[in-house]
A and B are shown apart, each in its own frame.
Chain A
Amino acid sequence: MSNKRIKDEHTLARHCASGLFADPIERTELDSKAFAPTDSNPSISVNWLEFYDGDHASQLKFVRTDIANGRTVRRTHKLALLNVGEVKALGMSSDQDLSVAHDPLPDNQSHSLICGIPIRDKILHQRLADAASKYLVEAVE
C-alpha cells in the first residue's frame, strides 16, 4: 500500500469506451455522461497516474495495465486525462466540493474515485467532460 497522497497537480485517467463520446464514431469529444454519476454509482471511477513512480509514459503504461485488469479495453477506447486541481476548480465553480479518493482494487491498484458530483448537475458533467476531452490518449498502447 502506498503512503502517497493525491495532490492537486496529479493526473487522473478516465477510461472511455465508445459510448462515452459525444460521437462514438469520431471519438474526439466526451459526452457529459462520462462524468455523470448515478444512484447506484455515485462516484466516477478514474485511475491515479502518480500512484506509480517513473515518468509520465511509464505511469500511463501501469495505469493501462490496471484498467485492463478490471474490464474489457478495446483499441477504439481512450483514456481522458484530467488534472486533479482542475477537477476541484470546476467543482468550485458549480459550488460543489469535489474530492478525489484513492480506492485501490485487488487488480487495479491505482483505481480512484471522483466524489461529490451531483447526479443532476448537467452543467458540471459537461464541463468536466470538456476538460477531459482536451487530453485524450489511446487506451491500448
Chain B
Amino acid sequence: MNLDAKAREAIVAQRFTSGVPLSQLDDEESEPGHVIVSATSSDTTIYGTSSTMLETYGWMLQPSTMTVLGEPRHSLAYHFTPPTEIGSDLAKWSGATDWVHENLDHSHASEPLSLQDLQIHLQNFLSLYESKLEADVYGRFSRLLPILLDPDEYDEEDKLPDPTSFRSMLDFLVEHPYLDVPRLNVSRQGHFKLSWRKSENELTTLEYRPDRMIDWLVFAPPARGSRSPQRAAGESAVSEILNILKVQNALAWMRREQ
C-alpha cells in the first residue's frame, strides 16, 4: 500500500466516522465499487459505498474481480460475512486486525472457491435481499439454496454457481414483485435459473447468465387452429425479457393471483 492509498483511506475512514457519506466524496475517492481497508493496531474496518455495496459484496464472491486498495486480493473472497453495518449510503465490514491481515498477507489467488464457500456466501448475499424480495420468494429460496448447493448432492461435473448470475436473478425478482413465486435451480453452466409452470404446455424458464443476458424458454398452448403446442427458446438482455414474455403470452399467467 502506498502513502497515497493510506492517506485516502484515512480520509474516507474519518469521513465515515464523522457521518459524511462516501457518495459525497469526490470521484477519485469514491470510485465505484472500490473497497477501502482501514487498519489500526486493534481492528480492521472495510468500507464500501452503498450504491455499489451489493456490487462490492458480489465482488467478494468473485476473486477474479475483487479489488482492495486497487489490487486484487483474492483471499478476501473466502472470508467475509455480510456487512456489519448497512447505512443508507454506506456498507461497513469490521473484523479483528489479525484475522484480516492474515488474509491480506497470504493471498490464495490460485485456490479456487469451493462449493461450501459459495454456499455460505450466497446465503449471506441472499440475506441482504430479505427486505427487498417478497416474503414467500425469500422464504422459498432460503430453503432451496442449501439443497441446491449441498456439496454431497451437487454434480461435480457441473460448473460452480455463479454469484453474478445469482445477483442478476435476485435483482430481476426485486424489480418484478408481481411475478408468482418461481422455482429455483442452477444450470450445468452454474447459472441460476427460475421457472414457472402452470400446466404441461405453460412453462417459462429464465436462466441468468453473468453477462446480464437471459437464456429463456417458453412453452405455450397450441395457437388457434393448431394442435401443436408452441415452444420457443432464445437469449435476450435482461431489460428486454418482459417484452419476450408478453409476445409469448407467458407474462399473464406468470403473475401472482390477485
Q: Which residues of A contact B (CB under 8 A)?
A: 17-19, 21-25, 29, 31-33, 36, 38, 40-41, 72, 74, 122-123, 126-127, 130
Say whether B233 faces chain A, with CB atoms less than 8 Å apart: yes
Q: Which residues of B contact A (CB under 8 A)?
A: 143-144, 147-148, 150, 152-155, 157-158, 183-189, 193, 195, 197, 200, 203, 205, 215, 217, 219, 231-233
Of all A-B residue pairs in the complex, the 5 with the closest CB atoms, nearest first, are A24-B147, A23-B183, A122-B233, A22-B183, A31-B185
Closest Cβ of chain B to A19, distance in Å, is 5
Contact A126 B147 (CB under 8 A): no
Contact B185 A22 (CB under 8 A): yes
- Closest B-chain residue to A134, C-beta based? B200
In whole angstroms, what is the CA distance A109 to B35 when docked? 55
In whole angstroms, what is the CA distance A122 to B235 when docked? 11
Contact A19 B147 (CB under 8 A): yes
In whole angstroms, what is the CA distance A38 to B190 when docked? 12
Q: Known contacts being A25-B147, A29-B197, A32-B217, is A19 close to B187, with CB within 8 Å?
A: no
Contacts of A126 in B (CB 8 A): 203, 205, 217, 219
Contact A17 B153 (CB under 8 A): yes
Given contacts A22-B183, A122-B215, 11 further A-B contacts (CB under 8 A): A18-B148, A18-B150, A19-B185, A19-B186, A22-B185, A38-B188, A40-B157, A41-B157, A122-B233, A123-B232, A126-B203
Name 30 interchain pairs, CB-CB below 8 A, sorted by A: A17-B153, A17-B155, A18-B147, A18-B148, A18-B153, A19-B148, A19-B150, A19-B155, A21-B185, A22-B195, A22-B197, A23-B184, A24-B144, A24-B147, A24-B185, A29-B197, A31-B195, A33-B187, A36-B188, A38-B189, A40-B157, A41-B157, A122-B217, A123-B231, A123-B232, A123-B233, A126-B203, A126-B217, A127-B231, A130-B200
In whole angstroms, what is the CA distance A18 to B183 when docked? 13
Contacts of A41 in B (CB 8 A): 157
- Closest A-chain residue to B144, C-beta based? A24
Contact B148 A24 (CB under 8 A): yes
Contacts of A31 in B (CB 8 A): 185, 193, 195
Contacts of B148 in A (CB 8 A): 18-19, 24
Contact A25 B185 (CB under 8 A): no
Closest Cβ of chain B to A66, distance in Å, is 19
Closest Cβ of chain A to B50, distance in Å, is 33
Query: Which single member of B143, B144, B185, B231 contacts A33 (CB below 8 Å)?
Result: B185
In whole angstroms, what is the CA distance A88 to B193 when docked? 27
Closest Cβ of chain A to B85, distance in Å, is 34
Contacts of A21 in B (CB 8 A): 185
Q: Name which of B147, B154, B193 has the most chain A CB atoms within 10 A of its CB.
A: B147
In whole angstroms, what is the CA distance A72 to B197 when docked? 30
In whole angstroms, what is the CA distance A74 to B147 when docked? 13
In whole angstroms, what is the CA distance A32 to B188 when docked? 10
Closest Cβ of chain A to B40, distance in Å, is 45
Q: Known contacts being A17-B153, A38-B157, is A25 close to B188, with CB within 8 Å?
A: no
Closest Cβ of chain B to A94, distance in Å, is 9
- Closest B-chain residue to A22, C-beta based? B183
Closest Cβ of chain A to B140, distance in Å, is 8
In whole angstroms, what is the CA distance A38 to B159 when docked? 10
In whole angstroms, what is the CA distance A32 to B218 when docked? 13
In whole angstroms, what is the CA distance A40 to B217 when docked? 24
In whole angstroms, what is the CA distance A62 to B203 when docked? 35
